[in-house]
Structure 1
């Protein structure tokens, strides 16, 4: 009994201790913020649905849902930003037009030059001119503005504002062009034909006329 009485006295001392009382009375910043958020949601429910009496459980569920939506939105935005950064890095900030002379050529002339190089077996140079043909075709249609100082990422970004599908297809071809331009890749005949056909398909796309 003495031990039991002593334990009870110690417990009472702890409960009456000023530090314990202060901790018990002060729920903490986040707890207080949570309570205020619940109160705001309850008021909003009352304002929108006067006949409904909001409960603490309903307010908590709504608040959790809002927080979950914000987290999901943040994750999606982060993924999009990372994806764009990766895409930009892949394009190596290359400038496809090396001189004003290339800019002054028509896209048809670049296509003919591409076929000349392909016939001589230089498929890497053929690929380069075919890409410039596509770039200048888009320039002539005024879907982007070709300039010597611009990078493929600049062109991709401009084209994306006109048509996202064309921009994505242009991007894939731009990656191959960059690899060829930086000497990372040699293009053989089948690869060139595939590249050429994709570029020509974009140039002849009937959707361009709409």
Structure 2
């Protein structure tokens, strides 16, 4: 009978050959190895958190996929909100709506009268400006914000957003068109002006209506 030691050595030589060793090699790529390690780590974490509970591979894997999906969605939401904030800040340019202390000392009614005067001359951009300043002063009178000559529309928007997001959104739309008309030199057509005026007067309530009636 052949020596058992030689037979064992011969068998080992056969098993060491490439066609046999290939079955024992890890053929996973980097991502597969990384994903399997993450799943193993997560299953261990679940076992530690839920004492006495041994999560099945399928349960742990499904829960891990859901959590990763939630994290990705939250990250995308954060990016979207961040980009939206940047775009809005660019839309509200770094200009002060009040050009002098004298304009701040005007009453809401006086700005509305000036807006109507400019409307009659068909200078709708300037009429838009005074409509907006009337709204801004009205917000100041209601103590929804604090108006100052040095403040920009972005400062006012940020101040309003801390207190009332709905009011801040309405202000943003009025301020955006104001900036486009006054600083962007974008012509305002008659129809657009009347739409703007309607939105402004919704916030002015009786103050705005009274100013127009007294003119």
Which TM-score band (shorter chain)?
A: 0.7 to 0.9
| Pairing 1:36–2:44 present | no
1:65 to partner: Cα distance: 1.2
Q: Does the 8 Å contact 1:41/1:63 carry over to 2?
A: no
**Cα distance in structure 2, aligned partners of 1:86 and 1:196:** 25
Q: Does the 8 Å contact 2:125/2:187 carry over to 1?
A: yes
**Cα distance in structure 2, aligned partners of 1:81 and 1:66:** 22
| Pairing 1:102–2:109 present | no
- The aligned residue for residue 60 of structure 2 is 59
**Cα distance in structure 2, aligned partners of 1:30 and 1:179:** 51
Q: Give the count of matched residue pairs.
A: 190
**Cα distance in structure 2, aligned partners of 1:195 and 1:58:** 56
Equivalent residue of 1:204, what SS?
A: helix
**Cα distance in structure 2, aligned partners of 1:8 and 1:183:** 79
1:30-65: CA deviations, max 9, x gaps?
A: 644442222111332x33xx5x54212211211121
Higher relative CO (CA 8 A, sep ≥ 6), structure 1 or 2?
Answer: 2
Equivalent residue of 2:128, what SS?
A: helix
- The aligned residue for residue 90 of structure 2 is 89
Q: Does the 8 Å contact 2:15/2:21 carry over to 1?
A: no
1:135-163: CA deviations, max 9, x gaps?
A: 11101111111111211111111112232
* Alpha-carbon spacing, 1:190–1:32, altered in 2? closer, same or farther (3 Å): closer
Q: Does the 8 Å contact 1:123/1:192 carry over to 2?
A: yes
- The aligned residue for residue 11 of structure 1 is 18
Equivalent residue of 2:146, what SS?
A: coil
- The aligned residue for residue 213 of structure 2 is none
Over aligned residues, Cα RMSD in angstroms?
A: 2.9
Unpaired stretches in structure 2, ≥5 consecutive residues: 1-12, 207-215
TM-score w.r.t. the length of structure 2 is 0.76
Higher Rg:
2
